[in-house]
Structure 1
Amino acid sequence: MAIHKQYWLEKEDAMIKKTIAAIFSVLVLSSVLTACNTTRGVGEDISDGGNAISGAATKAQQ
């Protein structure tokens, strides 16, 4: 009986570890995707700022 119980405890332990690994992977992936979107947004903001400065410089030259 003890061997049977030990077997199920080991199976349960393995399932818990796999579940934790899956949850951790989802959290890391969502963080990476969020960071990519944030970086893209910053790049667009910098580009818009550069375009505004360029437009102002063109107006100042005229």
Structure 2
Amino acid sequence: MKQRIALKMTRTTTSSGEAIETNAPRADHGLNHLAIVRAFYLDLAEWAMDDPARWGVWAA
């Protein structure tokens, strides 16, 4: 799995105004983001079969 998806960057500001960036693990380890993208590609493939002239160029 992609490491950058499993982590989220958080920014905090100190009392002196300095910004600090830290990486924290996501609760779901990024699996939800990957599932959303995969579902979108499956939708594109289905739409391409139903209407190839319109969606065929978007499906690989």
Q: TM-score, normalised by structure 1?
A: 0.40
Larger relative contact order (C-alpha < 8 A, sep ≥ 6)?
Answer: 2
